[in-house]
Amino acid sequence: MNDLLTPPAGRDLPPGRVQEMRAKLLADITRPVRPARPVRVRVGVGLVLAGIVAVAAAGVSAWSGGDRAQLLALGPDEMSPSLRAAAKRCLEMNDMVPMGSADLAVGAEHGDHVALLFLTEDHYLACSEGKPPHQGRSGGMAVDTDRPDWQHDWLPGPVDRLLLTSTKAGGGDVVAIGRVSARVHRLVLEHGDGRTTVARIAGGAFGLIAQGDVRERNSPELVSYDSAGNEIDRRPLFVPFDRLGRCYVDPQGSIVYGKPGPACLPAEPWTR
């Protein structure tokens, strides 16, 4: 192996982290599964900053002010100063695809966590950023070149989740952003414990911030409805597309997403 490709030497976990992680792991695996809770309607407390639109869709998505403010911006005009700053950092770090601040499709902010999705005709760039207590800011980015099957003009069904972040392993507060087809009128996250969170949709993009310990073990699902209120799609939130075992074809029958299978579903066109 060329020296240029020899990775840095191994390191120990930071002091104290092994104990923290061990304790958290034990807590997670020994915690009893909580019984399903009744639907809890949380009335949104509007936080309106200049230029920010925060929607508590159908009264089930909480938008609260204060130290743990949640913000969801669809498009560059809705960005808060902190989202704007995060977007700037994301774009500065991006050296892979041509992208600018005007290309922001969705930005979501929850406490110390920010998730951003930029979209152009040819590319997408997704960033997440967090600043855990007493620690520096860290995060990640994803681009379409990491997902060779991604297509701008087609979606794998009604929904294409492009970025999912959570505050804890296996759940926590969750931010999901991506694209939807024109026939998706309403997109709802069913937490799997009786609670739901409604995504905000605009211009073919969606964003949602789900609070309150969304647990992977409860198998939360993203459920799409058309304008008549009919359910048109249901898919697990935490399972990436390539593990769904689904395939989607264009009108000519050519595979657009997934591997060929006996019962491929129609891919859906995407328009802004």
Q: Is residue 32 a contact point for other proteins (CB under 8 A)? A: no
Q: Is residue 85 a contact point for other proteins (CB under 8 A)? A: no
- Closest contact distance (angstroms) between CB of 146 and other proteins is 5
Q: List the x/- string, 162-201, binding to other proteins by CB under 8 A.
A: -xx----xx-------------------------------
What strand order describes the sheet that includes 159-168?
159-168, 171-180, 205-215, 200-202
Q: Whose Cβ is closer to other proteins: residue 122's or residue 242's? A: 242
Q: Whose Cβ is closer to other proteins: residue 87's or residue 232's? A: 87
- Closest contact distance (angstroms) between CB of 22 and other proteins is 6
Question: Which residue in the set 42, 84, 147, 246 belongs to the binding site for other proteins (CB under 8 A)?
Answer: 147
- Closest contact distance (angstroms) between CB of 121 and other proteins is 21
User: How would you write the chain as a 3-class SS string?
Assistant: CCHHHCCCCCCCCCCCHHHHHHHHHHHHHHCCCCCCCCCCCCCCCCCCCCCCCCCCHHHCCCCCCCCCCEEEECCHHHCCHHHHHHHHHHHHHCCCCCCCHHHEEEEEEECCEEEEEEECCCCEEEEEEECCCCCCCEEEEEEHHHCCCCCCCEECCCEEEEEEEEEECCEEEEEEEEEECCCCCEEEEECCCCCEEECEEECCEEEEEEEEEEEHHHCCEEEEECCCCCEEEEEECCCCHHHCCCCEECCCCCEEECCCCCCCEECEECCC
Q: Is residue 41 a contact point for other proteins (CB under 8 A)? A: no
Stretches 6-14, 105-113, 116-124, 253-261: which one binds other proteins (CB under 8 A)? Answer: 6-14
Question: Which residue in the set 49, 53, 93, 182 belongs to the binding site for other proteins (CB under 8 A)?
Answer: 93
- Closest contact distance (angstroms) between CB of 95 and other proteins is 9
Stretches 73-81, 196-204, 223-231, 239-247: which one binds other proteins (CB under 8 A)? Answer: 239-247
Contact assessment for residue 120 and residue 91, using Cβ atoms and an 8 Å cutoff: no
Q: Is residue 25 a contact point for other proteins (CB under 8 A)? A: yes
Contact residues for other proteins, defined by CB under 8 A: 1-2, 4-8, 10-18, 21-22, 24-26, 28-30, 89, 93, 96, 126, 128-129, 133-143, 146-147, 163-164, 169-170, 240, 242-243
